[in-house]
Amino acid sequence: MRIIAGKHRGRVLAAFKGEQVRPTADRVKESLFQILSPRLPGARVLDLFCGSGALGLEALSRGAGSAVFNDISRESLAIAKKNLAALGEEGEISCLSFEACLSRVSGKFDLIFCDPPYREDYLGSILSLVAARGLLTENGLVVYESERDEAPSEGWEIADKRSYGRTVITMFQRRKA
């Protein structure tokens, strides 16, 4: 696992051992960030299920202004902290469930990355909490990774959707009135 582009291009990230964790594949990450590149300069990013921090770190490498890293696993956060330190980056870190994080985090985000365990169905809860708390900027996106097509909740629409083998990336935005 590595940083694909930007100021930290090619840097290898500390990763998990074992088969419990499924990091976003480099080819998926590369394609995703090509799509998101116009949105990255100065962006505020939330990596909601951060794992090793790869998505938030890629965003910072490509010019995002700040990032919040959250995961319920202390082991994941230890690796994310290690990766932040290795790259000389800073980020806010929290060890909360996604619901608690979305309920407590302050301010608005340009991008909210959601790469939950594939076996879980968190999309509806995430979109509801993001909408209720007004956590997205006007043109902000919730970027959701799963292994199936995801339908938007009321008040949301799909801005973009891409499939990469069994991985589906769906980008949701608030429906314009």
Q: How much of the chain exceeds pLDDT 70, in percent?
A: 95
Report pLDDT for 83: 94
Band (78; pLDDT cuts 50, 70, 90): very high
Give the Cα separation of 71 and 16 in Å (integer): 14
pLDDT digits (tens, 9 = 90+) for 83-138: 999 999 999 999 999 999 999 999 999 999 999 987 788 999 999 999 999 999 99
Residue 145 maps to a domain: yes
Report pLDDT for 19: 47
Residue 157 maps to a domain: yes
Name the nearest CA neighbour of 12 among 20, 21, 22, 23: 23
Domain that holds residue 132: 26-174
Report pLDDT for 21: 56
Residue 146 maps to a domain: yes
CATH number at residue 43: 3.40.50.150
Q: Using the Cα atoms of residue 172, residue 100, residue 71 and residue 20 in order, give the sign of their dihedral.
A: negative
Mean pLDDT, residues 21-40? 85
Give the Cα separation of 116 and 168 in Å (integer): 12
Residue 127 maps to a domain: yes
The answer, yes or no, to whether residue 18 has pLDDT greater than 60, is no
Count Cα neighbours of 159 within 13 Å in the Cβ-side half-sphere.
18
CB 111 within 8 A of CB 74: no
Residue 58 maps to a domain: yes
DSSP letters spanning 65-110: SEEEEE-S-HHHHHHHHHHHHHHT---EEE---HHHHHHH--S-EE
Residue 168 maps to a domain: yes
